[in-house]
Chain A
Amino acid sequence: MPERLLNYVNAAATALALPLDEARAARVAAHLARTAAMAGLLDGVPLCVEDEPAELYCPAPFVPVEPGA
């Protein structure tokens, strides 16, 4: 497992106030290494700036209102 991932795990856990002992940090980094490979696959997908995330948020149900009403 790359040391940079273990360093990342320890730094991110510190930033989130998530305590990790040495053994757990190593296991978490091993999981993250597998996910990093998947993220690498997605990095190969050509996305343009107009490609927005899939939506969920909606401020309110759409109500058709005549302009000026």
Chain B
Amino acid sequence: MKPPAPTQDLLGAMARGERSASEVLEHCLGRIADTDGRVNAFTRISHARARREAADIDRRRKQGEAMPPLAGLPYAVKNLFDIEGEVTLAGSKINREHAPARADAVLVQRLRSAGAVLVGSLNMDEYAYGFTTENTHYGPTHNPHDLTRIAGGSSGGSGAAVAAGQVPVTLGSDTNGSIRVPASLCGVWGLKPTFGRLSRRGSYPFVHSIDHLGPFADSTAHLAHVYDALQGPDPLDPGCHALAIQPAAPQMHRGIDGLRIGMLGGYFLEHAGAEAREAVQAAAGALGVVEIVEWPDAALARAAAFIISASEGGALHLGDLRARADDFEPLSVDRFIAGALQPAAWYLRAQRFRRRYRERVNALFEHWDLLLAPATPVCAPMIGTEWLEINGQRHPSRPAVGLLTQPVSFAGCPVVAAPLWPAAGQGLPLGVQIIAAPWREDLALRAARVLEQAGIAHLNETAL
């Protein structure tokens, strides 16, 4: 497949008056109408609001007003983000009974202030507990590169909508890999920022102590500009630790000269299939990487993240698990219950380990600026796959898709997922994680731009 027409200059084309925000929006709405019956990325399309926001941008531009940085850029959000006047489903049936949100989530407010146009909300695993978006209530999201395969999850709609060319930008959440996994399997750019970088206020939580939010995009330019618009301290979110905005987009031209970049070995190669190894080696080659680096305690970190996720997630839904377990997603309800019943000793030991783990990971970044690893062990499995074989080891498919992302988010490091197209994938993409030290999203984005400019990482057209 050839790459789709570049959209990097979409904002420029609108700024120069070559395209209006309304024209761009109608193109997206047409593309959604043509393709979403097969992809199932969207759970709701906000036609009226989108047309109102686009028309407002066009009116302001016509009147000669100074325009905000994302003026007219269409986007959609995982359906765990609050949208004023709409019910926040979080992929569930139970939440349909909730009252509509009284305000937009903070990140939706920030994108609105930046001039972006909200098109709708997107499918996900129920309550974000999954890596596949095989949602029984709303149907599975299909991979735009092969409709028989999963889009990844839990932000599967967010990855698929960008891959299908429905919108150039989406928002998702990532606790254990839920941005990086669908970005990898759908072949789009994704950014999981540093834990505590972006406000989570107005999003439906999964695991308070690990939840992150972040963008997906069709280009590194959109990824960086949207990320910058999302930034800002939020003293009302106890998990938001950023005290200032640190713009990354102005740094994108700087390349990677002087950066110390390594490729992760050990755990990250042991759990990588042939296509994952090929992808990360291609990225390493393009970035001039020669040294293999050992990430500390990856298997232990995955275990601790697994335990904390199960415990916090299960406890969060204990009331509904008691009263109406049959209304939960059949694929995850038993895991939620198991998590709710976990001994406190397991949870506390995992949290105590996490502090020591952070010290070891941060020490690694005294010697390295960026580290590369595959984002998923394999390309997108078929929908309904129960078992995966990775290097001769048999794994339960649904949790195994997150084997390579979980240890990294548990440390809170920022990661760009770059879309590569290994020959072993036979037309399917596989993402590479570009991992930086906490608060250095700018470095990961600079390396991502280098891979994009080298033609190594990019979106590909689908047959849709």
Contact = CB atoms under 8 A, between A and B. Distances in A.
Contacts of A52: 352, 355
A38 B349 contact: no
A45 B335 CA distance: 25
B322 interface: yes
Interface of chain B, main secondary structure: helix
Contacts of A43: 349
A17 B319 CA distance: 10
Interface residues of A, number: 32
B351 A28 contact: no
Given A32-B338, A35-B310, A51 B356 contact: yes
A42 interface: yes
A38 B304 CA distance: 8
B349 A54 contact: no
Interface in B167-220: 208-209
Interface string B248-277: 000000000000000000000000000000
B349 A42 contact: yes
A32 B338 CA distance: 6
B402 to A, nearest CB: 13
Contacts of B322: 16-19
A65 interface: no
Interface in B347-361: 348-356, 358
B351 A54 contact: yes
Interface in B226-241: 235, 238-239
Contacts of A41: 299-300, 303
Interface string B80-117: 00000000000000000000000000000000000000
A56 B346 contact: no
A1 interface: no
A7 to B, nearest CB: 12
B354 A28 contact: no
Interface of A: 8-9, 12-13, 16-20, 24, 27-29, 31-32, 35, 38-39, 41-43, 45, 47, 51-58, 61
**9 cross-chain pairs, A with B, having the tightest CB-CB distances, nearest first:** A38-B303, A53-B351, A31-B338, A54-B354, A12-B341, A39-B346, A27-B334, A32-B338, A54-B355
